[in-house]
């Protein structure tokens, strides 16, 4: 991994902006190293002095907790899904949405899994404070579902079910898809094809 060594000078940067910058630099490092990542390594990646981290975060635990919160936030994936062009065919829209969601889940799993593997997530003050509650997870899923429902809107007049219900069903399919390493991996385009047209091919 290449880490920048250039110090950033941002005298006008607010504490919130500095916090966001540090978290952005830290998330991929936490995904790679887990709780073993050092604040000095994070500081180098962010291009700041190590002391700057502790002007924003009380301790390393709080920073790790903030990384967990950032990884599970739906904002990024909802924004990506919302940027999908409705000029694309519906099948392509759904493939793009599924790929965006898969990338989000992979990023989230890498961060949380790495912290679990290093034995630091459970009981960690920062992570416990930042870990989303059940209500937050439900809200995150609602935002993702609503974003996907919007992809069905141009075809609303030809749909068998409302976009919201189709979006929920589509998400259900994505969450139970076979793992890539299983004997018969399922491609995203195949899931979309069966979802839109069924499992039985129409006789010609």
Question: Tell me: the pLDDT tens digits for 95-141?
Answer: 999 999 999 999 999 999 998 887 665 544 444 444 455 677 889 99
Domain extent, residue 120, equals 64-197
**Cβ contact 129:62 at 8 Å:** yes
Over residues 13-47, the pLDDT tens digits come to 888 899 999 999 999 999 999 999 999 999 999 99
pTM of the model: 0.77
CA distance 44 to 30: 14
CA distance 77 to 146: 12
- Which residues, including other chains, have CB under 8 Å from residue 108's CB and lie 6 or more apart? 71, 72
Residue 33 lies in a domain: no
Residue 193, classified by CB atoms within 10 Å of its CB into exposed (0-12), middle (13-18) or buried (19+), is middle
Over residues 155-180, the pLDDT tens digits come to 999 999 999 999 999 999 998 876 65
Closest by CA position to 47, among listed 15, 16, 5: 5
Residue 182, classified by CB atoms within 10 Å of its CB into exposed (0-12), middle (13-18) or buried (19+), is exposed
Residue 150 lies in a domain: yes
Number of domains in the chain: 1
Residue 22 lies in a domain: no
Q: Residue 136: its pLDDT value, please?
A: 79
CA distance 98 to 111: 20
Residue 24 lies in a domain: no
Segment among 88-92, 114-118, 197-201 with least mean pLDDT: 114-118
Q: Locate 113 and state its tokens.
A: 């899994």
Closest by CA position to 42, among listed 27, 26, 54, 28: 26
Residue 21 lies in a domain: no
CATH number reported for the structural domain that contains residue 150 in this entry = 1.10.357
């Amino acid at each position: 991994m290449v880490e920048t060594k250039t110090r950033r000078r941002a005298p006008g940067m607010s504490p919130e902006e500095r916090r966001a910058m540090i978290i952005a630099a830290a998330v991929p490092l936490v995904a790679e190293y887990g709780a073993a990542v050092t604040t000095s390594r994070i500081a180098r990646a962010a291009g700041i002095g190590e002391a700057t981290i502790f002007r924003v975060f009380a301790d390393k635990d709080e920073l790790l907790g903030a990384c967990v919160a950032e990884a599970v936030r739906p904002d990024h994936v909802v924004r990506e899904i919302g940027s999908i062009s409705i000029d694309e065919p519906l099948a392509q829209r759904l493939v793009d949405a599924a790929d965006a969601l898969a990338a989000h889940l992979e990023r989230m799993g890498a961060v949380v899994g790495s912290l679990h593997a290093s034995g630091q997530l459970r009981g960690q003050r920062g992570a416990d404070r930042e870990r989303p509650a059940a209500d937050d997870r439900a809200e995150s899923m609602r935002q993702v579902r609503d974003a996907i429902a919007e992809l069905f809107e141009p075809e609303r007049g030809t749909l068998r079910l409302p976009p919201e219900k189709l979006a929920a069903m589509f998400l259900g399919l994505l969450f139970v898809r076979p793992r890539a390493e299983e004997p018969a991996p399922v491609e995203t385009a195949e899931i979309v094809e069966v979802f839109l047209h069924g499992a039985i091919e129409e006789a010609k």
